[in-house]
Amino acid sequence: MCGIVGYIGHQKASHLLVNGLKRMEYRGYDSAGISFLENGKINILKQKGKVENLDRLVPHDLINTTIGIAHTRWATHGFPNDVNAHPHTDNTGNISVVHNGIIENYTAIRTKLKQDGYSFFTDTDTEVLAVFIGAFYEKVNNLEEAVRMALSEVDGTYGIAVLSSYEPDKIIAARMGSPMVLGIGENEYIIASDAAAIIAHTNKVIYLDDGEMVIVTREGFITKTVLNEETKRQIEAIEFDIQQIEKSGFDHFMLKEIYEQPETVKNAFRGRLLIEKGNVKLGGLNSVIEKLRTAKRIIIIACGTSWHAALVAEYMIEQLAHIPVEVEYASEFRYRNPVIGPEDVVFAISQSGETADTLAAVKEAKQKGATVLGFVNVVGSSIARETEAGTYLHAGPEIGVASTKAFTSQLTVMALVALMLGRMRTLSQLDGKRIALEISELPEKITKVFDQLKQIKEIVDEYAHAKNFLYLGRGFNFPLALEGALKLKEISYIHAEGYPAAEMKHGPIALIDENMPVVFIATQDEIYDKVLSNIEEVKARKGKIIAIANEGDERIKLVANHVIYIPNTLPMLNPILAVVPLQLMAYFMALKLGCNVDQPRNLAKSVTVE
Ligand code: G6P
């Protein structure tokens, strides 16, 4: 979603700011803008569309300033057009503001400001904030005070950066529910909503807390709360390096991230698997180990692909540890007054650690007394900090909007958690060892899946004209059917549905004819034969069958039109292998149809609004 970058230092700011925006393009956006101070005046350039357009619009050679702020906008209030693009200004044009998040009481504030004679030229909540700050400035003649006063009256979420000609050598940034990071360089500072925009300059950062602001000048910075109490913040190091956010020879981030999976899955279990003991060591969960041992129920909250990982985790944990697990969309959980209490353990799964609904659900679960644990990829993210304990995924930055490597890392970490919980309860050391060994072999097996590329591309060529796809699976493979369908629709815009294979008879079967490709995830488990029967049902109606099956399965060849083989593993680990061909199929389909793989239309990488 929206991205913020700001710079104050000794370098020319305009290039640096635009390049910072480019680093955040992956988040999804529809317009971009920049504001800089030159000759004591605020200048603003902004435009609908790509950062590339903004880059062409900005006369870099003519701009000598070393201070500015910039933004990529993902429309919430008002169309994605030039006028609504950020930065926005107060009525004098002397204060410019970029903002991520949503000011919920903006209508009331705007009405009041209009009564006081202020005007509005855009549909955005951000302009209201800018005018509000300007109104306070008129009273107090102090930018920091004006920002503080405005922020203490707004409801909702914000990450903001403010630049003003009144106090020209200063940028003020603040956060509430929307990330904001201060990068500390040599006589220069970069503020950004995403560390990806900072890493090219420095890896020393301070992650602002909710309700905190930073006032940055050329001489240094101070952090304080919006209530004006000074805070002392520790400088931390960004955990990734610049190569990890570059394509490194791949055509797209998504493809790179698919191919990184042998390594990222290994990183998810590295140092955590105790193969001989048939057990797992997860340092981040030490403080809650007794809670986990006695948990009566686990509730998992997540969104999107992470929600699919949660569904697989439900099967894993119930099978190995016999603890009842419920999986909920975070967006539903947060508003339905869930019945939970101190005996429950809640897992929040999130790649970004910033998804607004998941974060709000975490807060709701904490409010009700549950122990809330985070399984998050982005180190230092809001969900990681809001949860009592947890385990990082260590997948490295995921740039492609369609989640791939984070999913397999989530599944790997969930397999570790299930194994650990199982060993605390009924699972024997021998069974634990068998599972731990299988987990350790996953990276090599994922690499083998890449050998199926030719078959995958043939399937893509044959069905690129299809308007619909159906994805079916049972047991551990049912959530995978949902994930396969999601991947395809996200990036190729082909309509796709995922279903539990047996449910097909209760509706989707009506759609099946010779034009309907049906992807079956039909790996060897206790219900393999049942899945074969479902395949026969589709075949009898002339549907085209694409099967993901285990190596050595000859029966499947007799019924399927196409087979993609993956190595054998335990049924609970199958999704970690079987999702790889589904990711590749979606990727090559999107490529063939000329879609923007890494930045699909309307989608955002990190959904920081409800
Ligand atoms: C967005 C992304 C998805 C992601 C979902 C949840 O919709 O496009 O790829 O699965 O958010 O995000 P999270 O960061 O919480 O895993």
Q: Please tell me if the CB atom of residue 606 comes closer than 6 angstroms to any atom of ligand 1.
A: yes
Residue 336 has pLDDT above 90, yes or no: no
Tell me the CA–centroid distance for residue 461 and ligand 1, in Å: 29
**Model pLDDT for residues 448-496, shown as the tens digit of each residue:** 999 999 999 999 999 999 999 999 999 999 999 999 999 999 999 999 9
Closest CA to 255 of 392, 448, 453: 453
Express each pLDDT in 123-154 by its tens digit.
999 999 999 999 999 999 999 999 999 999 99
How distant is the alpha carbon of residue 571 from its chain centre? 27
Question: Which residue among 355, 376, 486, 579 has the greatest number of ligand 1 atoms within 8 angstroms of its CB, and so is best to mutate?
Answer: 355
Is 399 near ligand 1, meaning CB less than 6 Å away? no
Rg (CA), the chain: 25
Q: Atom 2 (ligand 1): residue with closest C-alpha?
A: 605
362 lines ligand 1 (CB under 6 A): no
Contacts 24+ apart (CB under 8 A), 434-438: 434/278, 434/570, 435/278, 435/320, 435/570, 435/572, 436/273, 436/274, 436/275, 436/278, 436/279, 436/280, 437/275, 438/569, 438/570, 438/573
Amino acid at 605: K
Of residues 256, 405, 544, 605, which has the active-site annotation? 605
Atom of ligand 1 nearest to the CA of 352: 14
Per-residue pLDDT at 262: 98
Q: Is the pLDDT of residue 609 over 80?
A: no
How far is ligand 1, taken at its centre, from the CA of residue 311, in Å?
15
Q: Is it the case that residue 444 has pLDDT exceeding 80?
A: yes
Q: How much is the average pLDDT of 183-202? A: 95
pLDDT at 540: 87
- Ligand 1, atom 8, lies closest to the CA of 605
Per DSSP, the three-state class of 380 is coil
Ligand 1 pocket test: pick from 29, 607, 609, 610 the residue with the most ligand atoms within 8 Å of its Cβ: 607
Query: Tokens 């890392």 sit at which residue?
Result: 409
Query: pLDDT class for 26, splitting at 50, 70, 90?
Result: confident
Residue 170 has pLDDT above 80, yes or no: yes
pLDDT of 603 higher than 90? no
Percent of the chain at pLDDT > 70 equals 100
> What pLDDT score was predicted for residue 428?
97
Res. 56: pLDDT tops 90 = yes
User: Quick one: tokens of 418?
Assistant: 């299930």
pLDDT at 599 over 80: yes
595 is catalytic: no
Q: For residue range 493-545, list pLDDT tens digits in order.
A: 999 999 998 888 888 888 888 889 999 999 988 888 888 889 989 998 899 99
Instruction: State the distance from the centre of ligand 1 to the C-alpha of 91, rounded, in angstroms.
Output: 37
Residue 605 catalytic? yes
Q: Tell me: pLDDT of 571 over 90.
A: yes
The domains of the chain, with CATH numbers, are: 3-238 (3.60.20.10), 246-440 (3.40.50.10490), 451-610 (3.40.50.10490)
Sign of CA dihedral 13, 205, 194, 222: negative
pLDDT for 399 equals 92
Identify the pLDDT of residue 408. 98
Q: What is the pLDDT of residues 372-412, one digit of tens each?
A: 999 999 988 899 999 999 999 999 999 999 999 999 999 99
Hey, what amino acid is at 53?
A: N
How far, in Å, from the CA of 94 to the mean position of ligand 1? 37
Amino acid at 301: I
Does the C-beta of 381 come closer than 6 Å to ligand 1?
Answer: no
pLDDT at position 176, please? 93
Give residue 589's pLDDT: 97
Average pLDDT, the chain: 94
What is the rounded distance in angstroms from the CA atom of residue 598 to the CA atom of residue 575? 23
Ligand 1 touching residue 409 (CB < 6 A): no
Whether residue 607 has its Cβ less than 6 Å from ligand 1? yes
199 Cβ inside 6 Å of ligand 1: no
Q: Ligand 1: distance of its center to the CA of 605 in Å?
A: 6
Residues 6+ apart with CB under 8 A from 408: 261, 264, 265, 268, 446, 576, 579, 580
pLDDT for the residue numbered 602: 84
Q: State the pLDDT at residue 501.
A: 85
Q: Is the CB of 352 under 6 A from ligand 1?
A: yes
Q: Is the distance from the beta carbon of residue 223 to the nearest atom of ligand 1 less than 6 Å?
A: no
H-state helical runs in 509-592: 528-540, 555-559, 574-592
Please indicate whether residue 304, judged by its CB atom, sits closer than 6 Å to ligand 1.
yes
Q: Are 311 and 349 in contact (CB under 8 A)?
A: no
Question: 608 pLDDT exceeds 80?
Answer: no
The pLDDT, as a whole number, for residue 528 is 86
Tell me what pLDDT residue 169 has.
Answer: 94
Which residues make Cβ contacts (< 8 Å) with residue 100, sequence separation at least 6?
A: 1, 2, 3, 4, 157, 158, 159, 160, 178, 193, 608
* Ligand 1 contact, 329 CB (< 6 A): no
Using pLDDT thresholds of 50, 70 and 90, give the confidence band for residue 112: very high
Please name which of 74, 178, 94 lies closest in space to residue 86, comparing C-alpha atoms: 74
Closest-CA residue, ligand 1 atom 7, reads 304
Q: Alpha carbon of 223 to those of 70, 277, 410: distances in Å? A: 21, 47, 34
Q: Residue 289 above 90 pLDDT?
A: yes
Give the pLDDT score at 27.
84
Q: Whose structure tokens read 């063939």?
A: 592
Q: 109: helix, coil or strand? A: helix
Percent of the chain at pLDDT exceeding 90: 83
pLDDT of residue 219: 93
Ligand 1 contact, 401 CB (< 6 A): yes
Asked if pLDDT for residue 416 goes beyond 80, the answer is yes
Distance of CA 1 from the midpoint of ligand 1 (Å): 11
CA of 496 to the centre of ligand 1 (A): 18
2, 48, 291, 595: which is the annotated catalytic residue? Answer: 2
Distance of alpha carbon 190 from alpha carbon 183, whole angstroms:
5
State the DSSP code for 49. Answer: S
